[in-house]
Amino acid sequence: MGHGRESHFTISGETIVSTSGELGVLSKTDTGWLFISTSNERFTFDTAGKLIRWSNAHGAVHQFAYAGSQVTVTDNLGNSLTFTEDENKQPLSMTAPGVQITYGYNASKRLTSVTKVMGGQTTLRQFHYEDPRNNSWLTGITDERGVRYATWSYDDKGRAISSEHADGADKVTVAYNADGTVSVTNELGKVAKYSFQYIKGVRRITSIQGEPSANCPNSNSSFTYDSNGLLKTKTDNKGVLTTYTYNARGLEISRTEASGTAQARTITTDWHPTLFLPTVVTEPKRITTYHYDDQGRQLSRTVEER
């Protein structure tokens, strides 16, 4: 949804339910489908599942028109660009006023090059897949200057085990331990061990263990979740506990920082009944009230000191 990820839903009668922990709302319309995200972005699809319109609460609108392998996107200011796609819906080219971009792929349909022509100049960015075990594993990027600025390596299972920039800068290594934990060593040699729990098929971090070093403070922290995978408690590296509660829509309605101490601070949130927008946020020393129009655009914000 807007970031290349997939959100899955199941339909049972008139009810549409997310199966992937998605907090947005999908509804059927006379002309297709409408998805409203938690940030009040609206994605309109036709009956074939093609995206035909996108809008946000700030008034930005993108319209999508399809003609064979071409997709033209036009915004509310009249600007437009056109993509051509291959049979896998991967972009082959993008044309807009003053710029043309072409995309190249390898036999595994992985992006290998982006060539941009703009202002009479041509630049090239390359993506490398050099591991003989699998030519779909991204191993590096060479930028428009011809400099190899990123490199990755993998184990036999295709899991990333190292990442670094040019000349070994910012190098991080990853070890996958037999007990299911993961140890990450940063460029300064500090090791942090991550533990996980699967909830509804999603792996959640339950603890981070990292002892202090000369260059880094300790990173010990822990997390618990409810049956839906929503964060229930968080304990930071100083032992400070934060607790969370949610409504039936999965939206946070209460958060208590430094829970169980004299410094405890609770923040509660009331939400719009249909939009993913707060209407009242109550803090120890103030109450903030919001009003919106039907499109989710903020009309007013009032702060009352307590």
DSSP string, 83-130: EEE-TTS-EEEEEETTEEEEEEE-TTS-EEEEEEEETTEEEEEEEE--
Nearest of 192, 157, 150, 146 to residue 171 by alpha carbon: 150
Give the global pTM: 0.81
Residue 85 counted as domain residue = no
Cα 272-276-282 angle, rounded to 5 deg = 60
pLDDT recorded at residue 201: 86
Residue 22 counted as domain residue = no
Measured CA to CA, the distance from residue 86 to residue 111 in angstroms comes to 13
pLDDT band at 200 (very low <50, low <70, confident <90, very high): confident
pLDDT band at 300 (very low <50, low <70, confident <90, very high): very high
Domain limits at 146?
Answer: 98-170
Question: Cβ neighbours of residue 14 under 8 Å, at least 6 residues apart?
Answer: none
Question: How many domains is the chain built from?
Answer: 1
pLDDT recorded at residue 5: 64
Residue 214 counted as domain residue = no
CA atoms lying within 13 Å on the CB side of residue 193: 9
Residue 119 counted as domain residue = yes
Q: Is the pLDDT of residue 190 over 70?
A: yes
Q: What is the mean pLDDT of residues 20-45?
A: 85
Measured CA to CA, the distance from residue 284 to residue 262 in angstroms comes to 13
Average pLDDT of the chain, as a whole number? 92
Measured CA to CA, the distance from residue 78 to residue 254 in angstroms comes to 43
Residue 11 counted as domain residue = no
Q: Which two tokens stand for residue 70?
A: 């071409």
Nearest of 58, 64, 176 to residue 184 by alpha carbon: 176
Q: Which two tokens stand for residue 281?
A: 């946020």
Residue 132 counted as domain residue = yes
Residue 157 counted as domain residue = yes
Query: How far out from the chain centre does Cα 283 lie?
Result: 28
Measured CA to CA, the distance from residue 91 to residue 259 in angstroms comes to 50
Measured CA to CA, the distance from residue 193 to residue 185 in angstroms comes to 9
Q: Is the pLDDT of residue 244 over 60?
A: yes
Q: What is the mean pLDDT of residues 62-84?
A: 97
Nearest of 232, 219, 153, 150 to residue 190 by alpha carbon: 219
Residue 117 counted as domain residue = yes
